[in-house]
């Protein structure tokens, strides 16, 4: 059940992470002038930074959560790495993909530009590898483990047992 829930949540979180990172990156990049070294639109910049922080927080939870199924981080990781590999094989087609997605009416062209920028810069590949690492740990696949053997369990939680010296 844990892996089913992790798979479904991973499928739902993948577009949220991708579009959240892309839209906030594009919005932040358009909110300051690097040549003049000034912020041109503070409201958009602060909103973009807040969304980037939220995406970073979700990614951090996916990476360190021991309770989560590895599928929760594996689904977004494989999506990002697959799209990055597709970009290396056929960059033109991979960069056209954001314009063909069904979210066309929901988001403005800022998200599409952000998707293309993060894909072309390799940031999606980096994020994909960050999310892939937790899926490779055996402990995440098998579920919760306690710090004691079943044969030696005397009814006390592992942290309250007295050490045996003999």
Per-residue model confidence (pLDDT) at position 80: 93
In a domain, 147, yes or no: no
Instruction: Determine contact, residues 111/30, Cβ cutoff 8 Å.
Output: no
161 domain residue, yes or no: no
Q: What's residue 149's pLDDT?
A: 46
CA-wise closest residue to 15 among 89, 115, 86: 115
Q: How many domains does the chain have?
A: 1
Tokens 């005397």 correspond to: 154
Q: Evaluate whether residue 64 is within a structural domain.
A: yes
CA 120, 57, 94 angle in degrees (round to 5)? Answer: 20
**Which pTM value belongs to this model?**
0.73
The reported pLDDT for the residue numbered 101 is 67
Inside any domain, residue 153: no
Spatial contact of 86 and 93, defined as CB atoms under 8 Å apart: yes
- Note whether residue 158 is domain-resident: no
Full residue range of the structural domain in which residue 59 is found: 2-142
Handedness of CA 12, 13, 18, 23 (dihedral sign): positive
pLDDT of residue 106: 53
pLDDT for res 105: 52
Q: Is residue 163 a part of any domain in this protein? A: no
Q: With respect to residue 162, please indicate whether it lies within any of the assigned structural domains.
A: no
User: Mean pLDDT in each 10-residue stretch from start to end of the chain (166 residues)?
Assistant: 80 87 86 81 86 89 79 89 93 82 62 85 90 78 52 53 57
pLDDT at 93: 87
Report the alpha-carbon distance of residue 164 to residue 99 in Å, rounded: 65
- Asked if 131 and 73 touch (Cβ cutoff 8 Å), the reply is yes
Residue 96: how many other CB atoms lie within 10 Å: 11
């Amino acid at each position: 059940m844990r892996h089913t829930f992790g798979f479904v949540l991973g499928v739902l979180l993948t577009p949220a992470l991708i579009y959240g990172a892309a839209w906030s990156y594009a919005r932040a990049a358009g909110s300051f002038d690097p040549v003049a070294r000034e912020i041109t639109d503070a409201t958009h910049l602060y909103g973009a930074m807040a969304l980037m922080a939220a995406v970073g927080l979700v990614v951090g939870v996916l990476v360190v959560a021991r309770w989560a199924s590895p599928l929760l981080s594996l689904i977004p990781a494989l999506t990002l790495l697959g799209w990055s590999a597709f970009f290396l094989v056929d960059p033109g087609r991979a960069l056209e993909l954001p314009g063909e997605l069904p979210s066309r009416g929901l988001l403005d062209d800022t998200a599409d530009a952000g998707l293309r920028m993060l894909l072309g810069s390799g940031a999606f590949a980096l994020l994909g590898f960050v999310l892939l690492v937790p899926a490779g740990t055996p402990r995440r696949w098998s579920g919760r483990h306690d710090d004691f053997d079943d044969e030696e369990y005397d009814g006390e939680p592992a942290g309250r047992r007295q050490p045996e010296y003999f």
